[in-house]
Amino acid sequence: MTLIIKVILGLLFIFIFFSLGSALFFLVKDKGQSDRIVKALTWRIGLSILLFVILFIAFAMGWIAPHSP
């Protein structure tokens, strides 16, 4: 189960960075004249919230655990 959660979290990180990169691309290409930047950043925020929710649930269920220092 932990491997599945780690893969899901990794994919979410990749999608978040892709969304951030596409927002940067649209900012440079469109020069801020279209709403594609806002849509890309909205996706990034939604994916980030989903990431935190999955992290909280996985920690509460015991699927992941923090490392000791």
Sites in the chain below the pLDDT cut of 50: none
Q: Can you give the pLDDT at residue 44?
A: 95
User: What is the tens place of the pLDDT at every residue in 48-57?
Assistant: 999 999 999 9
The rounded distance, in Å, linking the Cα atoms of 19 and 42 is 9
- Residues ≥6 apart with Cβ < 8 Å to 37: 23, 26, 27, 30
- The token duo for 65 is 């655990």
The Cα 57–Cα 63 span in angstroms is 9
pTM of the model: 0.82
For residue 53, give both structure tokens. 């929710």
